[in-house]
Amino acid sequence: MAERGSYLNNRMKVILSIILAVLALLVSMGIGSVSIPFTDMWAIFCHKCFGTALPQNITDSAVSIFWGIRLPRTLTAFLVGGCLAASGTVMQSVLQNPLASSFTLGVSSGASLGAAIVIVSGFSIPLIGSFTLPFMGFLFGLGTVFAAIILSERIDRGMHNYTIILIGMVLSLFVNAILTLLSALTPDNSRQLLLWSMGSFSSRTWYHVSVLFPACLFGTLLLMRFSREMDIMTFGDEQALTIGVDSRKMKKILIAVSAFLTGIAVCFTGVIGFIDLIAPHVVRRVFGSSHRYVLPMSVLFGGAFMAIADLVSRTVLSPQEIPVGSVTALIGAPFFAYVFFRGNRR
C-alpha cells in the first residue's frame, strides 16, 4: 500500500510539473516587447499547423513575431535547458558528487576554445559555412571530455570518481588559460568571445529546434535505458560490481552521452552554466532518488527554468538584452554555495 501511495503521489507530481512547464512556455512566448494573448497564440499555431483561418484582429506582424521569433526561441531554450539538466543528473549520479557536471569535466572550456579559434582565425569549413562555429564548439567540447576519460583510465585503471573529476578540472583550467591568452592577444575579438561564453538565444530559428529536438530526445531515452544502473551506481563502484553492474564500462557510456547532450546544447547557444547543477537537486527533493523519475523530470524542470531565464534576459533591460548565462549564474551561484556549505555541515 505504501509503494502504491508513493507511485500515485509521484504521478500527481508529474502531472502538476507538466502543467507548470507548459505555463512557463506560454508565459515566455507571450511576454515581450509585443505581448501576444494566449488565444492569439493558439489561433496562430492552429493556422500554421492545421491551416485554419486567422481571426481578423491578428496582424501579420503578430504572426511573424510569434511563429518566426518567439516560438522557435522558446523551444530552443527549453531543449537546451533539458539537455543540460539531463547531463547534470547523470554526472552527479555517476561521479557521486552533488557538484559534478559536464562543465566540471571541461565541456564548456573546450567548446569555448573551439569557438574562440573560429572567431579569432575566421576559419570556415566549406560544406557547413556559417555553422562552423557551433560545429567546432561541439567538437572541442566533446573532445575535452573524451580526453579526460582517456587520461583518467591511463592514470587510474579503476577510473575512480575523484580521478575523473580532478583530471577534468585540470583540463578545464588548462583550456581556460589558452582562452585567456587568445583573448589577450586579440583584443578586437575579446567582446565577441565574452558574449559567446555567456550564452544567448537571440536569432534562434526552427533549424536549431530541428537539430536539438531529436538530439535531446535520443539522449534522454538512451539515458533512461540505464536508469536502473544509475540507481545502483549511486551506492558506489564496489556495491555496483557485486550486483553485476560494470561501473567502469557504464561510466564511459554515461559520461559520453552526457557530454554529447551538453556539447549539442552549448554549440548553438554558447556557454550557459548552473542549469545542470540546479535542476537535478530540485527534482530529487520533490521526486526522490529514483532515476526513472529524476531524469525526465530534470529535463522538464531544466527546460522550463531555461525558458523563464531567457524571458528575464530579454525583458528586464528591454530593448537591451543581457546574456542568459548571467541570469542563470545570478541564481545558480548562491545555489552552488548552498549545496557546498550544506554538504560541509553534514
For 56-92, the DSSP string reads TTS-HHHHIIIIIIIHHHHHHHHHHHHHHHHHHHHHH
User: Do 200 and 321 meet the contact criterion of CB atoms below 8 Å apart?
Assistant: yes
Q: Whole-structure pTM over 0.85, yes or no? A: yes
Which pLDDT value is given to residue 170? 86
Which pLDDT value is given to residue 73? 94
Which pLDDT value is given to residue 288? 84
**Cis ω on the peptide bond leading into residue 319 (within 30° of 0)?**
yes
Could you tell me which residues come within 8 angstroms of residue 49 by beta carbon, excluding any fewer than 6 positions away? none
- Mind listing the pLDDT tens digit for each residue in 153-175? 788 776 677 787 888 888 888 88
Which pLDDT value is given to residue 344? 53
Extract the residue ranges of the chain whose pLDDT is less than 50: 1-3
Which pLDDT value is given to residue 341? 67
Which pLDDT value is given to residue 2? 44
Domain ranges of the chain: 2-345
Which pLDDT value is given to residue 107? 79
Check: CATH 3.30.310.50 for 2-345? no
